[in-house]
Amino acid sequence: MNVFIAGFQHETNTFAPTRADWAAFEAGSGFPPYRRGPAIIEAYRGKAIPIGGFIVEAEARGWSLTASGWAGANPSAHVVRDAFERIAGDIDEDLRAALAGPGVDAVYLDLHGAAVAEHLDDPEGELLARIRARVGPQVPIVASLDLHANVTAQMLEAADALVAYRTYPHVDMKDTGALAATLLARRIERGEREPLAVRRLDFLLPLNAQSTMTAPANAVYDELLRLDQRHGSVLSFAMGFPAADIAECGPVIWGYGGEAAAAVEALFARVDQPRSQWRLDLKTPDAAVRQAMSLADEEDKPIVIADTQDNPGAGGDSNTTGMLHALLACGAGERFPGQVAIGLLADPEAAAQAHAAGEGARIDVQLGRSVPTWGGRQSDAPVVVRATVRRLHDGLVTLKGPMGMGGEVRLGPSACLEVQGVLVGICTQKTQMLDREMFRFLGIAPETMKILVNKSSVHFRADFAPIASHILVAKAEGPMAADPADLPWTKLPASMSLNP
């Protein structure tokens, strides 16, 4: 059997300030850069992304693979029309060639599921529909999705099977690709689509409440696995990305198999009640820092604060300064000199200035940006200070934590600056703080810090929770709303609640 494979990954925050153009997909930054053709198979086989797991499982089953393009860009505002149409056009061109040549017995797509383009509210559904029109009704199409997918009716209709990650932080991406291959094998053995059951929830889940390392999400996914064993189903619960202003934004539960309907109803009941289980404890920047300082007096392990509203993994540009202002105003670096760190602040100009000055230099520097958020608001002003350049680096970092073990991120010229006892990790290209190596490469040893401020919402927990005594979530001004009710929605149906 010959399987046509391709990928398109983008998580779109329609309220964010920066759009994803073609250059964003060519660079990749936190993702692999755009690749096309057979080289994808060698490059991604066994890697900790869905297509890596699919390739391994497909080859183990004796399937041959025809590779098209794989495109991924950091979360941001809308994917520009040109970028999406180039990606979709490459896939269509390669699919037509495969149909005319070796033939196509099935299609696998490595998708995110929460993309929004300038001209399309549902680009993944559109891509699946175009592929369906090209291959016809009999060729199976399966896709893997991110746990944050906003799953649409068009996506479910066009694909024979969809399956989503079951962990956040996403440490099961490779496993999900392999599970997509298993679903494809089930579809082929059956000779027709498996029965599908779907339930859509009518409230948005805040991103920070979705972590499967904490309650209630951990218990929900444990129940999902038990229901699959009991009913012979393959369930998915996509909790949705609550910053995409489209009509079908929100959580969806679906499943395949003869008893999928019963399994979906049971999981729906577990998620839906009580809704209060999904509510958050969010702190102001000053309150988070003051609590962290108090805890740090007694603890041997770091207190980690999530700067969640500037998360570059959810559409922020990793350049706001609310948490840095709070650290300086509260005197955290003076209380614990050299043991307080924040990262990574994406500031190309400051990074270039540090590299020009050299290690050990004292520089007068402006750090960060004031950026528009929503409702006419702005984030905090830049921090203007005298800083010491402690470490310089070219920004090529190999990850060692559970999220991206063995993968590389390309941060561009980077530096560690010391400001009033606070270590500030700065870089040129934005990437979410999800791995301790992203501090270590700048000479910051996370394990020895008293306070760590991470520009991330949840992914950091995979590598930082084992060393943290406490984890706090701070709500500094930034482009990614921790509370969906703060956003000026225009397309959500009136029946959708903005809060659990």
Are both 44 and 181 inside the same structural domain? yes
Are both 12 and 119 inside the same structural domain? yes
φ/ψ of 263, rounded to 5, equals -65, -40
When pLDDT is cut at 50, 70 and 90, the band that residue 464 belongs to is very high
Closest CA to 283 of 263, 315, 305: 305
The pLDDT, as a whole number, for residue 30 is 76
Asked if residue 298 belongs to a domain, the reply is: yes
* H helices, E strands: number in the chain: 15, 19
Asked if residue 403 belongs to a domain, the reply is: yes
* The model's pTM: 0.94
Asked if residue 432 belongs to a domain, the reply is: yes
Instruction: Look at the chain and report how many structural domains it folds into.
Output: 2
When pLDDT is cut at 50, 70 and 90, the band that residue 170 belongs to is very high
The count of other CB atoms within 10 Å of the CB of residue 270 is 18
Are both 267 and 301 inside the same structural domain? no
Which of 278, 301, 329 is where one domain is finished?
Answer: 278
Are both 326 and 468 inside the same structural domain? yes
Q: What is the pLDDT of residues 238-253, one digit of tens each?
A: 999 999 999 999 999 9
Asked if residue 490 belongs to a domain, the reply is: no
Q: Which range (24-38, 335-349, 360-374) has the least confidence?
A: 24-38
Are both 376 and 347 inside the same structural domain? yes
What is the residue-wise DSSP string for 286-350? HHHHHHHHHHHTT-SSPEEEEEGGG-TTTT--S---HHHHHHHHTTHHHHSTT-EEEEEEE-HHH
The pLDDT, as a whole number, for residue 19 is 96
Are both 308 and 267 inside the same structural domain? no
Which domain range does residue 295 map to?
285-482
Are both 196 and 273 inside the same structural domain? yes
Q: Which residue has the tokens 């929460």?
A: 114
pLDDT of residue 408 exceeding 90: no
Return the DSSP state at 363: E
Which of 256, 278, 300 is where one domain is finished?
Answer: 278
Closest CA to 16 of 316, 413, 333, 406: 316
Asked if residue 496 belongs to a domain, the reply is: no
pLDDT of residue 258 exceeding 90: no
Angle between helix 123-135 and helix 81-100 axes, rounded to 10 deg: 20
Which of 278, 302, 335 is where one domain is finished?
Answer: 278
Closest CA to 436 of 334, 341, 308, 335: 341
Are both 264 and 319 inside the same structural domain? no
Q: What is the mean pLDDT of the chain?
A: 96
Q: Which two tokens stand for residue 399?
A: 């990850």
Asked if residue 77 belongs to a domain, the reply is: yes
Q: The dihedral of CA 267, 269, 270, 276: what is its sign?
A: positive
When pLDDT is cut at 50, 70 and 90, the band that residue 29 belongs to is confident
Q: 343 near 293, Cβ under 8 Å?
A: no
Asked if residue 65 belongs to a domain, the reply is: yes
Asked if residue 499 belongs to a domain, the reply is: no
| Distance set, CA 249 to CA 24, 246, 336, 500 (Å) | 24, 6, 43, 14
Are both 61 and 171 inside the same structural domain? yes
Are both 205 and 305 inside the same structural domain? no
Q: How far apart are CA 278 and CA 273, in angstroms?
A: 10
When pLDDT is cut at 50, 70 and 90, the band that residue 80 belongs to is very high
The pLDDT, as a whole number, for residue 404 is 78
Q: What is the CB-side half-sphere exposure of residue 248 using CA atoms within 13 A?
A: 22
The pLDDT, as a whole number, for residue 50 is 97
When pLDDT is cut at 50, 70 and 90, the band that residue 496 belongs to is very high
Q: How many residues does the chain have?
A: 500
Are both 256 and 327 inside the same structural domain? no
Are both 170 and 262 inside the same structural domain? yes
